[in-house]
A and B are shown apart, each in its own frame.
Chain A
Amino acid sequence: MTRQALVPPIAEVPPEVEQLRVEVRTFLAGELSGGRFTPRCDAWLAGWDEEFSRALARRGWIGMTLPPEYGGHGRSTLERFAVTEELLAAGAPVAAHWIADRQMGPSLLRFGTDQQKQRFLPAIARGECFFGIGMSEPDAGSDLASVRMRASGGDGGWILDGTKVWTSGAHHAHALVVLARTEAVDPDNRHGGLSQFIVMTDSPGLTINPIRLLTGEHHFNEVVFDGVVVPDELVLGTIGNGWQQVTSELAFERSGPERILSTYPLLAHVVACVRLSGDGSHHPQMGALLARLWTLRQMSLAIASSLGGGVAADVPAALVKDLGTRFESEVIELARLVLDVEPDPTSTDPGARLLAQAELHAPGFTIRGGTNEILRGVVARAVGLR
């Protein structure tokens, strides 16, 4: 019996990738000193800054892996990895283009028609087309296959009725990728009869209502579809193949550096404080966390380089997301001990502020993109337990 490797082979990073990191750091230092952003935790959810996204696009750092004929830059997955990692580590505001760049680019490239590619990919790469993900519904969270959003076929198009929730960034996005039922549920094949649609957010019949986070921030939304017409040319991929398409994207969604680095700005601040204080009492804990981070990066990088080669990586991705998101929360524990401040989102002290951001956003780390319990189910199945 051959055992499946849990993690793809460790990646060899070519020198031009490391050169790219230097360029990104130089750019970020300039933006920071120019006061164009303030580092924050969870900036890939909370840092919506279209100006900043366009500045990145001008440097060719959005849609990096897309082919040049679609406005992309033909760079490698590892090059994209390096750029996103640098941006996240700096706490830069990358939320606006995040979904378009991470998910829609690759997904359109794989499943889109040539017309769809022409229409969306160049705009994505210019930082001018932002996407949201319309998968979850009030009764379809972990059990995604139970989505109720109904898409009925008519002549030349589809009519969508239903409600999506937790749709991050929908209120700013130009389009959503929506999972809907195109056939009634078949109890013997619950994953059949689902399809993906690209829905423009200015479509008649589509209403976007804010759902405020517990902090009062507006990041995600309820999106109500009341007879929204979607033309045939905006069907993504094949009707009835929605489940396969969605699950094939999960590795992209789950294994990236954003599942590791949501609290890195806080960790960096903590290390800086320890350096200044000269107090060695927290060194063992700090070192342990840095060892975890070092290892997590290697795992995430290994998956990124295997994704470039088209290998299925959903199991390694599930493992990395489970480990990575728990690491993100552990950073908070160290920060509380070292900083010993009362967290306050409005504080002028960066420690109190970063800690409050991390603390208040942390519950989402192990929920969004598939809960850790569901991820462990994936791993349990892979190692042969069910």
Chain B
Amino acid sequence: MTTDLDALEAGVADLLSDLCTPERLAAVEGDLDRQLWEALESAELTRVGVPEEAGGSGGSLAESAVVLRLAGERAASLPLAETSMIVGPVLAAAGLAVPDGPLTVGLGEVTAQRSAEGWRVRGLLRRVPYGGLADTVAGMATTADGRLIFRVPTSATKVVAGRNVAGEPRDDIAVDIDLPPTSVAAVPEDAEREIRLRGALSRAVLVAGAAQAALDLSVRYAQERMQFGRPIAAFQAVQQHIAGLAAEAAAARAAADAAVRVCGHGFGSAAAGLAVAAAKARTAQAAGTVAAIAHQVHGAIGMTQEHPLRFTTTRLWAWRSEWGGERQWTQHIANVAVSLDDQDLWPMLVGM
């Protein structure tokens, strides 16, 4: 199992290192990198984690997390998290086909009513990743007697463009459309919870990847940058900083990997909820420290548009606050902890 993941990791890393150069990242800034999408698509990497029957490439959550972490490390500009980890699997579980092309997802206030052909879906999805640029957007709607999941071609929606601090599109999408039954399916009450958990988990995984990139860039720069006649890596202050960065990157990776492992058994359990909350909160903490140290080590040049560090650090700042900031997730953990009897806190932490 582990060796399979290692092989997958090596293959994806290879592919991405050629396709996500700093020049390329600058060229596709604020855009969806279609060329990269096509390359991943032909390597069957865009829908890992989505069952084959639904149009995916099959594969486990752990496998989709490997691809996603490396995409985070290389600051890939596409809605891979949304397609493969967040909503692709949920559409599939609801019995809907997962369409080709970039798929994204948003939550918001949407209602649905029966119409002659199927459903009339109306409402607003907020801060949808690559909303206006993806081919399909999925969302959840409330009906008179339950919850639906739907998917709609983005071309049939109204898009109000927005951005996160990394310049990635985060658009508001208004829908007001009749959808056929093949685009809509009833879902259980906890489907939205699952989407939120998958969203938060995806950001934890992305942050873990970006933290690794920040570490690599900082180590390399410290060895190259000369001041006072020696590389700044020779200064203990710099060494201590980077060691601290490494510890945070390691914690982020461990938290993300552990949560992926727990959620591999399903998102329905309380343990999955706790694992995602802990991983999201911990990676968010790490993101801030990692970005701050990486910038400190790089000095002024790291703050410039020309330097590739920004692709990583601005994403760390953006991703830590998406799908719920630290407040929401730390509160969840604290709420669970205080709701338990004394003797149950430890079992909660160890998962049994």
Point out residues on A near B: beta carbons under 8 Å.
136, 139, 141-143, 146, 165-166, 211-216, 220, 329, 332-333, 336-338, 340-347, 356, 359-360, 362-364, 366-368, 371-373, 376
Contacts and interface: CB of A to CB of B under 8 A. Distances in A.
Interface string B290-328: 011001100110111111001001100110011001111
B43 interface: no
A360 B314 contact: yes
Contact of B165 (A142, A333, A343): A343
Contacts of B303: 213-214, 363-364, 367
Interface residues of B, number: 38
Contact of A142 (B227, B307, B314, B318): B227
Contacts of B238: 373
5 contacts: A143-B228, A344-B165, A360-B165, A363-B302, A364-B303
A213 B300 CA distance: 9
A341 B321 contact: yes
Given A141-B300, A143-B228, A337-B326, A362 B127 contact: no
Given A360-B165, A363-B292, 12 more contacts: A143-B229, A212-B304, A213-B305, A214-B313, A337-B326, A340-B325, A341-B325, A343-B165, A344-B164, A345-B163, A363-B291, A364-B300
B314 A214 contact: yes
A143 B303 CA distance: 19
B324 to A, nearest CB: 8
B346 interface: no
- Summarize B's interface: helix, strand, loop or mixed: helix
A25 to B, nearest CB: 32
Interface in B132-160: none
B95 interface: no
Contacts, number: 104
Contacts of A346: 162-163
A341 to B, nearest CB: 7
B170 interface: yes
A71 to B, nearest CB: 34
Interface in B272-286: none
A359 B295 contact: no
Contacts of A141: 227, 299-300
B305 A216 contact: yes
B123 interface: no
A376 B237 contact: yes
A218 B241 CA distance: 29
A304 to B, nearest CB: 27
Given A344-B170, A345-B163, A373-B238, A212 B227 contact: no
Interface in B225-264: 226-229, 235, 237-238, 241
A337 B327 CA distance: 5
A109 to B, nearest CB: 29
Contact of B127 (A136, A220, A342, A368): A342
B328 A340 contact: yes
Nearest to B328: A340
B164 to A, nearest CB: 6
Contacts of B165: 343-345, 356, 359-360
A143 B52 CA distance: 59
B288 interface: yes
B162 A344 contact: yes
Given A142-B228, A340-B328, A373-B235, A333 B288 contact: yes
